[in-house]
Every structure is written in structure tokens, then in C-alpha cells.
A and B are shown apart, each in its own frame.
Chain A
Amino acid sequence: MSNPISRRKFIGNISALGLASTLPFMSTFSFASDLSSPSNIVNVGIIGVGSRGKVLLLNIQKIQGIKIIAVCDNYDTNYKRAISLTRNTAKAYTDHRKLLENKDLDAVIIATPLHEHAHITIDALNSGLHVFCEKSMAKTAEDCNAMVSAALRNNKILQIGHQRLFDPMYHKAIEMIQNKQLGSLTQIRAFWHRNRDWRKPVPSPELERKINWRLYEEYSLGLMTELASHHLQVANWVYGAAPISVAGFGSINYWKDGRELFDNVNLVYKYPNGNHLVYDSLISNKHYGMEVQVMGDKGTLEMEKGNYFLEHPPAAPGILQLVNDIEKGIFETVPIGGASWVPETANKVKPTKYHQTQKGLPEPTELQFHSFANHIRENKIDEENLKHGYNSSICAIMGHKAMLENKVIEIPDNLRM
């Protein structure tokens, strides 16, 4: 295995970051079994080895305690790539049901298009396997409920791929929020902007919908399930709750190329105590990129960059203020007439970096599989992770519904974990 991580170093890093303090499920690391022990190898199969599936496969290959013994994809190019990436060591399938019959499997990793998540997850759980399913959980609330029910009924782990839950920078931010370093929170503003058509090259026209499934209603909810769900999960984590209602607008106003799903979405989610999440996403301008801005009366966090801004930074020493005022008195012109209003442009306070990435620590995408494997070894359902996966999926689904129906959607209690 490439890039092995010693248990001592790995657990040391996790403890040093205090990850266990912000999420209960991270505590499994503190009493994890030896990750390098062959007796604790978790055998997994990967279903769906497209672009995301490939990333997951490469991350899993770095982990000594997990072995990929099966791969499955019904698209020939991905099928062959999966065989090549696993150097023929994994058994390859084109039908997930055949893969589920493999008795050596402990778990499956599902990275198929969204509309396939629910039924494959339920099949796997009913086959007695633990499941790691990429976000979002499913395309409908009914499917999300069915997935959770199947996990609980079969007493198997269902983990949803929200890697920010395993990112030390996010954990530090949550810790700062819990310690009231931002004061009282009232709003989160999140956005994800790109400037590309979100298409993949299609070798022949009949494969258009299979390859570009993110653009069609039958398979996905577009920007909401494929991008927004990450930030929705973070917002729920920050507020410690799931929203109660959502309103928004969505349009196809730039990429008018036959796609069915919005290329421009704007939503407001309302949380139980009146807090808001203002979210937008578009794929026709990338100037602002992506960010989650958490605003409190004492400070602001930019969670993607790891920036912390104080609302009222400590004043400069008195002597500097005096010199500054003398300088202003001498050099500043006295306006005789002019604008009586000064634009309230953004604060120019310099940010503090609240987290430094530690060398030697695995990426969050890899860390989530360490956690998954540890939960399997302990046969312990990761309820906190499942809650995050479920709530963020429901948020994405309800947001899409609000935009489609052009009305405020109340999210019922029974759709919040």
C-alpha cells in the first residue's frame, strides 16, 4: 500500500486536532483498532467508478485497513478503468446485484449517479453490507427515508460522503462558534460559483443522459444535490439544527443547451430560532468562487479559506491614533460641499488564519474512510453522520421544490433528524 500512516502518528494527529470534541463520531478514532493489522482488514466493493468514484477508489487505496475486492460499473469506459486502477486485484462486475452476492464483502462504496443511490443502498443494506454512499443521499425525501429505515432495520452502517465533517479546519471553526468567538449568529451566506457548462464529453449522442446525468431531472437535482448539499450540511452543523422552511428562485438563464436543471439558483433557508442561510450557486461566473461566510455580532468566519475577522478589532495604540489624527489635520482637505453619504463598503480588517494545515495528516476524503472502517470494526452505527447526510439531502430536495413551485416550502418535523 502506498503512503502508509502509522497508527500512533494518525491517532496522535487526530487527538491533537481535538476532532473528537466537536463530533461524537470522531471519538471512534481514539479507540480505533490498529489500522495496519491484516486481521482488521475491511473488504469493500465500489459501485460506480466515474469521476467521483475514481477519486474515492484512489483515496481508499492509501488506507491499509481497507481492501477493494470488487468494483462495479455499467459504463464500459469506467468498468475498464476500475479494473486498471485496481491492477486486476478486484473482481469486476457490471451489475451491482451480482457484486452484492460476493460473500467476502464487508461493505460497499456507492458513487453512482444520484438516482441510483437509494435502490442500490437499500439492496446492499438488505444483503447485510455496510454502506458508504456519496452525497446527496437521494433525489426524493421518500428515498432518503427508505435508506435510513433500511440501515436501522438491518443494523448496518450508512455513512454519507460529507468530507467537510472530517476536515480539521471546519472542526476548528465549529469549536470557535461553540465558544462564542463570533458572538450571536444570525446569518450564514454561502455560495458556489463556477464558470463552465458542467458537461462532460460524450462519445456518442445516445450516451448524453448517461454521462451528463447532472443536467437532467430524471437523474439529479443539479446544483442543489451535487454542490449545495455540502454547504447545506455545513450550515446545519453551524446552527446545530435543520431548517424549518425555504424559499428561492431558480433559472436556466445562461446555458440554454437543452439541459433541464437550473444553472442559477438563489435560496433562503430559515432555521428554528430565526437564523437564515442565504445560498446561491451559478455556473456562468467564477469570480467569487465558493465560500461559507458565518456572521455573528462579534466576528465573521470564512470557512472555506479559514479566515476569521473580528467585528471590532482592538484599537491601535493611542500614540498611533494621535499621530494619525495630526496627519489627517494637516493633510486632509476640508470639503466645502459634496456627498453627505459615505458608502458602507466592506470592512478592511485583515483576517486571522484560524487553522494551519498539519503535514502528514490524510485529506478529509481519506479520513472519512478511516472513520467508516472503524465503525465497521466496532459494528457501531454512526448516527451523527447519518443525521448530517439526511438533513442536508432533505434541504437540497426542499430547496429544489421551492424553486420549482415558486413558493415557500415548510419542512415538516418528520423530515428532520
Chain B
Amino acid sequence: MKDIVLKGKNLKRELIIYLFCFVITTGMNIYSIVSYDTKWPELWLSLPIVFLLSIVIYALSGLFRFIYFLLKKAGVHLNILPLKK
């Protein structure tokens, strides 16, 4: 069995992606407060929902990245895509 080594570089990248997801969700919260004419205290009262939603988006981003990785690998294998050296 192979050990998974989480490099500092990867961890930093994942954190940045998650933060990006959190910023997007917070933006969605601000947009919804304005467009649905709800109250501004929801900016912090809805933080648990925002946090949950950011995790969902982060997970979705992970899924898409995984699919991209699989496609990329399959493309190289079939000689469709050139492998970077």
C-alpha cells in the first residue's frame, strides 16, 4: 500500500480553493439578501448555512477536478493528449 503524502504546496492550493468557495458563497448570501429583500443580520446569522454550502461547492469542485484528472489521464493513454514532460 502506498502512503499518501500531502505536500505543503497541495495543502495551500486546497485551502485557497476552499477559501474561494467560501467567498463565492458569501457573495451568494449578500446577493440573496439584496434580491430577496431580507434582513442584513442574515450576513452573520446565516453563516452556518454559508459554511455548509461552501463545503458542498468545494466538494463539487473536487469532483470536477477528479473528472478532469481522469479525462486527462485517459487522453494521454489513448495518445489524444500529449503528456507534459
Closest chain B residue to A318, Cβ basis: B32
User: How many residues of chain A get a CB closer than 8 Å to chain B's CBs?
Assistant: 8
A319, CB-defined interface residue at 8 Å? yes
- Asked if A334 is at the interface of the complex by the 8 Å CB criterion, the answer is no
Contacts of B10 in A (CB 8 A): none
Assess the B33–A318 pair: CB atoms within 8 A.
yes
The CA of A320 and the CA of B33, in the complex, are separated in Å by 10
Q: Is the CB of B31 within 8 A of A322?
A: yes
State whether A321 touches B36 (Cβ < 8 A). Answer: yes
B79 at the interface (CB under 8 A from A): no
Binds A, one of B12-20, B41-49, B62-70: B41-49
When chains A and B are docked, how far (Å) is the Cα of A156 from the Cα of B49? 65
Q: How far is the CA of A322 from the CA of B45 in the complex (A)?
A: 16
Contacts of B49 in A (CB 8 A): 317, 319-320
- Tell me, in angstroms, the Cα distance from A273 to B28 when the chains sit together: 50
In whole angstroms, how far apart are the Cα atoms of A323 and B53 in the complex?
9
Indicate if the CB atoms of A317 and B38 lie closer than 8 Å.
Answer: yes
Residues of A close to B38: CB separation below 8 A: 315, 317-318, 321
- Residue numbers in B under 8 Å from A323 (CB-CB): 53
* Cross-chain contact B53 with A318 (CB below 8 angstroms): no
Smallest distance from the beta carbon of B37 to chain A beta carbons, Å?
8
Q: How near does chain A come to B56, taking the closest CB pair, in angstroms?
A: 9
- A319 and B53 contacting across the interface, CB-CB below 8 Å: yes
CB nearest neighbor in A for B56:
A323
Q: Which of B21-55 contact A (CB under 8 A)?
A: 28-29, 31-33, 35-36, 38, 42, 45-46, 49-50, 53
With the chains together, A321 CA to B34 CA distance in Å?
Answer: 12
- The smallest beta-carbon distance between A217 and chain B, in angstroms, is 62
B42 engages A317 (CB within 8 Å)? yes
What's the minimum C-beta distance from B33 to chain A, rounded to whole angstroms? 5
Closest B residue to A326 by CB, please name it.
B28
Q: Which of A305-358 contact B (CB under 8 A)?
A: 315, 317-323
CA distance A200 to B82 in the complex (A): 93
Q: Which residues of A contact B28 (CB under 8 A)?
A: 319, 322
Q: Name the A residues within 8 Å of B32 (CB-CB).
A: 317-319, 321-322
**Complex CA distance for A320 and B38, rounded to whole angstroms:** 11
Question: Which A residues lie within 8 Å of B46 (CB)?
Answer: 317-320
A321 CA to B29 CA, complexed, in Å: 10
By a CB distance below 8 angstroms, the chain A residues around B33 are 318-319
B80 to A: closest C-beta gap in Å? 31
Q: How far is the CB of A313 from chain B (nearest CB, A)?
A: 14
Query: In the complex, what residues of B have CB within 8 A of residue A318's CB?
Result: 29, 32-33, 35-36, 38, 42, 46
A250 to B42, CA, bound (A): 55
Q: How far is the CA of A43 from the CA of B32 in the complex (A)?
A: 70
For B31, give the chain A residue with the smallest CB separation: A322
- A317 and B32 CA atoms in complex are apart in Å by 9
CB distance from B74 to the nearest CB of A (A): 28
Q: Which of A315, A317, A321 contacts B45 (CB 8 A)?
A: A317
Please measure, in the bound complex, the distance between the C-alpha atom of A8 and the C-alpha atom of B49, giving whole angstroms: 48
Which residue among A317, A320, A321, A322 has the maximum number of chain B CB atoms within 10 Å of its CB?
A: A317
With a CB–CB cut-off of 8 A, which chain A residues contact B36?
315, 318, 321-322
Bound CA span A319–B28, Å: 7
Complex Cα spacing A321 to B28, Å: 11
- Complex: how many Å from CA A262 to CA B42? 57
Question: What's the nearest-Cβ distance from chain B to residue A208, in Å?
Answer: 67
Among B29, B31, B33, B38, residue most surrounded by chain A Cβ atoms (within 10 Å): B38
Residues of chain B within 8 A (CB-CB) of A319 are: 28-29, 32-33, 42, 46, 49-50, 53
B35 to chain A: which residues have CB within 8 Å?
318, 322
Inter-chain CA distance A322–B32, complex, in Å, is 6
A321 to B33, CA, bound (A): 10
Q: Nearest Cβ distance between residue A323 and chain B, in whole angstroms?
A: 7
Q: Which B residue sits closest to A315, measured CB to CB?
A: B38
Bound Cα distance A317, B53 (Å) = 14
Supply 13 further A-B pairs (C-beta < 8 A) apart from A315-B36, A318-B38: A317-B49, A318-B32, A318-B33, A318-B35, A318-B46, A319-B28, A319-B33, A319-B42, A319-B50, A320-B46, A321-B32, A321-B38, A322-B31
20 A-B contact pairs sorted by A residue (CB < 8 Å)? A315-B38, A317-B32, A317-B38, A317-B42, A317-B45, A318-B29, A318-B33, A318-B36, A318-B38, A319-B28, A319-B46, A319-B49, A319-B50, A319-B53, A320-B46, A321-B38, A322-B31, A322-B35, A322-B36, A323-B53
Sorted nearest first, the 7 A-B pairs with minimum C-beta distance are A318-B32, A322-B32, A318-B38, A318-B36, A318-B33, A317-B46, A319-B29
